[in-house]
Amino acid sequence: MQIEALKLTPVAMSAVSHLGENQQVVQKSFGQFLGDALQKTNDLQHQAIAADKALAAGQVQDISQVVIATEKANIALQLTMQVRNKAVEAYQEIMRMQV
């Protein structure tokens, strides 16, 4: 079995269009990525709350949709908390480094 070395990929990749012209791929900053992820998590939380209210009001016939919306919101919140925990842990590790 042959072992191949790891290859580094460039951060800014460009895509080739069907005409052979290079187009620069627009990439988000890390802050924008985190902001978008938090916004999506917030939206999922609001959807779950709305589904719960509709269920309580008797407007929902299929309870599985409410359960799915609630679980999506729960999983998104758990992921957000884990990302936050890892970011705090990384910050604390950097602060412990000796200069």
pLDDT of 91 above 70? yes
The more confident residue out of 4 and 96 is 96
What does the alpha-carbon distance between residue 78 and residue 37 come to, in Å, rounded to a whole number? 12
pLDDT at 30: 86
- pLDDT tens per residue across span 8-36: 655 655 555 566 666 677 788 889 999 99
Long-range own/partner contacts, residues 47-52 (CB < 8 A, 24 or more apart)? 47/72, 47/73, 48/72, 48/73, 48/74
Cβ burial of 48 (10 Å; 0-12, 13-18, 19+) is buried
Instruction: State pTM to two decimals.
Output: 0.67
